[in-house]
Amino acid sequence: AFEAVARLRAKGLNARRLQDGFPEWKRAGMPVETAN
């Protein structure tokens, strides 16, 4: 996950690593953005 975030940031994207992971984030009702 750390490498993925570094690569995305290098491309100018606002990327963050989730401590508990994406499924837990989504289950908690936290905001999620998707690409079209």
Give 8's pLDDT tier (boundaries 50, 70, 90): very high
What pLDDT is attached to residue 14?
A: 92
The amino acid at residue 15 is A
Average pLDDT of the chain to the nearest whole number: 88
pLDDT computed for residue 1 by the predictor: 78
Residues contacting 24, CB < 8 A, separation 6+: 18
Q: Which residues contact residue 26 at a Cβ distance below 8 angstroms, ignoring those fewer than 6 apart? A: 32
| Domain boundaries defined on the chain | 1-36
* pLDDT band with cut points at 50, 70 and 90 for residue 33: confident
pTM for the predicted model, two decimal places: 0.53
pLDDT, tens digit (0-9, with 9 covering 90-100), for 16-32: 887 888 888 889 898 98
